[in-house]
Structure formats: C-alpha cells, structure tokens
Amino acid sequence: MNLLLSNDDGIYAAGIRFLAQELKNHYNITIVAPESQKSGASHSLTCIKPVRVRQITLHELPDIPSYAVEGTPADCVRIGCTSLEIPVDFVVSGINHGANLGSDVLYSGTVGAAMEGALIGKPALAVSCYPIQPVDFSAASRAALWTIEYMRRNPLPQGMILNLNAPELPISEIKGLRLAGLELQKYEELHAQFEDPFGARYFWAPLGKITEPSKLDYTDERCVQEGYVTLTPIHYDIACYSYMESMDVSGFNLSELYRYKVE
C-alpha cells in the first residue's frame, strides 16, 4: 500500500520523521509536507500566490521520496494526491507535536490535511501526541500503525477521517483505546499586545488553555489525560441536522422585511 505522509509542523519536524520510520517497513512511503511550521492552518488552501514544491532528501530517511511545499497542509495533500504523479492509496497526517482534541480540530492543520485527503477520496488518518512538546512518539506511531490496518479492514464512509490522539507514555503504560467525543476547548480570550520598534502594535495569539475536562468519560480530553489512545470519527459535513428539524422558517418573506424595525 502506498502512503502519503504530511503534517502541519513542517517536513523537518521530529513527529513526521518518527512516523515514517515506524511505517516504512510496512508500506511504501512518500512525504509531502510544508516547508515550515503551519500549525493552526486548518483546512486552508493557497489561492492567490504560487505554491512552490521542491524535492529534498531527509538525511535520516534517504530512501523515502520527500517534497517540501511552500503552502498549507491541505495544499500538500492535494498536490501530492493529484499533481506529483505518485501513487497514493492512503493519507496519514502527523504526528503532530501536541494534541488535537475537542474543538481544536477546527483549527488544526493536521486534521485539515487528513480531511483534504478524504475529500479527494483517499482513506485518511490524523495523528497527534499529547502534550505540546512530546519527545517520545512511540505510542502514537504504534497506534497509527494499528489504526491504518483497522481502516483497511473497515473502510470509512466517503468524507470521513479518523482523528487519533495518544499520550506521551511508554507503550506498556497505555491503558487502551477509547472511541471518544469532542471536548469543547476554551482558551484565554485576549491576545497579548506588543509594540514593535516603530511604534506599531502587534498581537500574539492567546495560548493559555482554561478547559475544564468534562466529567463525562467519553470525551477525548479526559481519556487522553487518563492514559488512553483516542479515536474520533470526523466528517466534512458539520451541518446540524437535528437542529434544522426544529427550525420554523415558514415566515420567510423578503418583501415584508420593511415592517420590522431593527434595533
């Protein structure tokens, strides 16, 4: 099977190199990843400037074809699957440096890359390791290998990916695997404000996490903190059909809007 590996931490990040080492003995690997850090890029595509691609050699992985892309994680997967003339049967994104839990999946370039693969029609997996600066990716990479084989035997519906999160623990200390829902993540609201030498203001995104893990035992944040690997199916269609069924829009009439005073 031919795997395309990508990420959002950049092609030189430790996580993607560790994952390639784990998977190369089982599959044919090609790496197509951002040239630089692209965390938080979500599912964005580059539309108003060229996307440059260059083939490189990673000195730890000289036998794996590798391409550095001046674009987003989703750019990498789309170009890798459609334009580089390489065989791709499966897309794996990661291993991300830090978890992608709960509502953070909406911002995640790691998840965005996997979702791009799914939209193209490839089975896709996003892999992340908790906490923010992991050193040992062993459990995450081994869990990724297990999950790829699971997905081969149990194909996902079109447009769906699996999001895998693993704690940075020795493999022997992993408690098991949980299918988990998404926690609502909360962060400090205010951006840190600074001033450059020319007097212009600039802002730095708030990183202080203030999430209080749910008391429910099926949320991903709680499960990972307790030592479990989590898998969450995520679909591109995020429309809320249950709420749609409760909405009454029978009064829609644009010609009568003048009757209402907007305050």
Per-residue pLDDT tens over the stretch 192-219: 899 999 999 999 888 777 777 666 668 9
Span 36-63, mean pLDDT?
96
**Mean pLDDT calculated for residue range 52-77:** 97
Report, in angstroms and rounded to the nearest whole number, the Rg of the chain calculated over CA atoms.
21
Mean local confidence (pLDDT), 239-262? 84
What distances in angstroms separate CA 231 from CA 54, 147, 151, 161, one per listed residue?
33, 9, 12, 10
DSSP string, the chain: -EEEEE-SS-TT-HHHHHHHHHHTTTSEEEEEEESS--TT-TT----SS---EEEEEETTEEEEEEEEESS-HHHHHHHHHHTS----SEEEEEEEEB---GGGGGT-HHHHHHHHHHHHT--EEEEEEESSS-S--HHHHHHHHHHHHHHHHSPPPTTEEEEEEEES--GGG--EEEE-B-----B--SPEEEE-TTS-EEEE----B-----SSTTBHHHHHHTTEEEEEEEES----HHHHTT---TT--GGGGGGSPP-
Q: How far apart are the first and last CA of the chain?
A: 60
pLDDT for residue 236 is more than 80:
yes
pLDDT of residue 261: 60
Instruction: Say what the pTM is.
Output: 0.93
Q: Please report, for the domain that includes residue 145, its CATH number.
A: 3.40.1210.10
**So what's the pLDDT on residue 61?**
97
In this structure, is residue 226 part of a structural domain?
A: yes
Task: Give the pLDDT confidence score for residue 255 in this predicted structure.
Answer: 81
| 236 within domain boundaries | yes
Res 23 pLDDT > 90:
yes
Residues 159-187: tens digit of each pLDDT: 999 999 999 999 999 999 999 999 888 87
Whether 196 maps to a domain, the answer reads no
pLDDT single digits (tens) 80-95: 999 999 999 999 999 9
Domain count along the chain:
1
47 in a structural domain = yes
121 assigned to some structural domain = yes
Whether 235 maps to a domain, the answer reads yes
Residue 207 domain-assigned?
Answer: no
Residue 47 has pLDDT above 70, yes or no: yes
Is the pLDDT at 260 greater than 70? The verdict is no
Domain hosting 119: range is 2-183+215-259
The verdict on residue 197 lying in a domain is no
